[in-house]
Amino acid sequence: MLSIGVLIAGLVPTAKAANIAGNLLIFPSMLFAGVWTPGDLMPESIRWLRDITPMGAGMTGMQDAWSGQWPGLENVAALLAVTVACVALAARFFRWE
């Protein structure tokens, strides 16, 4: 999630715009990750989205760890892919003023 914040900071011009962009991203991310409702109760058509969003992959990995299992490879891969992509894009677009 930190890499997404760094990407937002690199793309938007002001702190106020970064706050708005962050809020526009965090609330749908929490919805699709299953924070407000259990992910198993989601319709099958959007349940796959829970596993590939960073927050959903993190939550599923934490639930696996709490139950004594290793986090699933797809969850770790989703987190790594988002982190690498966001850091690469942030490095490309971030500018000191």
The string of pLDDT tens digits covering residues 36-87 is 877 778 888 888 888 778 888 888 888 889 999 998 898 899 899 999 999 9
User: How many structural domains does the chain have?
Assistant: 1
Q: Residue 8: give the domain boundaries.
A: 2-93
Q: pLDDT value at position 84?
A: 95
Q: Are 63 and 87 in contact (CB under 8 A)?
A: no
Which residues have C-beta within 8 Å of that of residue 95, sequence separation ≥ 6?
Answer: 10
Q: Residue type for 83, please? A: T
d(CA 30, CA 56): 8
